[in-house]
Amino acid sequence: AQSVAQPEDQVNVAEGNPLTVKCTYSVSGNPYLFWYVQYPNRGLQFLLKYITGDNLVKGSYGFEAEFNKSQTSFHLKKPSALVSDSALYFCAVRPNNAGNMLTFGGGTRLMVKP
């Protein structure tokens, strides 16, 4: 069975500083990895995904993520945080043989302070 871990419940960063939100995963076969963001009273918005190829994936709103197969990690990064980035971030994995079923991590709340 697949699983996703987000070890930090909350990440605090000052505006303008780089941010990292951590994610590790466990899945048999090729990992298909995703990051989603959730703003208050909203559904999930897709940020980026890793399917294959380049380990550095670029996504929406200046976010990127680095896939590391040996460490089974898929950390979300942004070079310069904005206050508007404050939200709940979810990492997810989808196995190759499970249709559209996503397994999510517990979520990390990102707080960007001015």
Partner 1 sequence: KAGVTQTPRYLIKTRGQQVTLSCSPISGHRSVSWYQQTPGQGLQFLFEYFSETQRNKGNFPGRFSGRQFSNSRSEMNVSTLELGDSALYLCASSWGTSGGGSSYNEQFFGPGTRLTVL
Q: Where does this chain bind partner 1 (CB under 8 A)?
A: 30, 32, 36, 41-46, 49-52, 90, 92, 94-107
Toward partner 1, which CB reaches closer, 67 or 81? 67
For residue 98, the minimal CB distance to partner 1 (Å) is 6
Which of 8, 22, 15, 5 shows the shortest CA–CA distance to 76? Answer: 22
For residue 105, the minimal CB distance to partner 1 (Å) is 8
With a CB cutoff of 8 Å and minimum separation 6, the contacts of 19 are 11, 13, 77, 78, 81, 85, 110, 112
For residue 79, the minimal CB distance to partner 1 (Å) is 25
